[in-house]
A = this chain, B = another copy of it.
């Protein structure tokens, strides 16, 4: 019998090695040999676990998104209040980018560009961004609807607002990528969340007595960062 190897585990190992290199050199500048060396294996070995560079990239991206989503979902689920869910979700998402370990944001950006470009190409590995965004929205929309239902948020189109919220997160990420040293991502994230929650707020005059909870906090948020 030959060596027993956990194919899945080794694939994951290579993927993680790949992501470390991606973070250092960028996806486009990463050669197969770099990944091999980082993983401590031979060049050819990669091809035992991935059919091509492109497929490896694709799996790396999927893996990354999966990890991000898992983290964000966890934090959202832990929050009880709809406002808290929004705040927590946004900050969690941005936080992932801050995690230095694997430089998510960089890699994400690379993949994004690649996805956009591969749209319509013959490649089997183009990433389905539409579904990813829909996934994101499906995370945010319930919290918004819950807030509306509870009389915490004014009536709105939850899909559109979710899109805007997600857009803001990603846009802030971009700005942070452009200037990591000086751009305080979390502070901007908090300000943005406050802004959104402000907008969700039911106007004082039209407001009955359905805002008994957290008045202190809401006031606190009034001062936009």
Q: Contact residues of A with B, CB < 8 Å?
A: 2, 26-29, 42, 44, 106, 109-110, 112-119, 129-130, 132-133, 154-157, 160-161, 163-164, 166-172, 174-175, 177-179, 182, 187-188, 191-192, 195-196, 198-199, 203-206, 222-225
Interface of A is mostly: helix
**Chain B contacts for A179, CB-based, 8 A:** 129-130, 133
Q: Which among B113, B160, B161, B167 is the interface contact of A109 at CB below 8 angstroms? A: B113
**Chain B contacts for A172, CB-based, 8 A:** 163-164, 167
Is B110 a contact of A178 with CB atoms below 8 Å? no
Q: How many copies does the complex hold?
A: 4
| C-alpha gap A29/B167 in the complex (Å) | 27
Q: Which among B113, B167, B224 is the interface contact of A156 at CB below 8 angstroms? A: B224
How far in angstroms is the closest Cβ of chain B from A224?
4
Supposing A113-B110, A199-B198 touch, asked if A175 and B163 sit within 8 A by C-beta, the answer is: yes
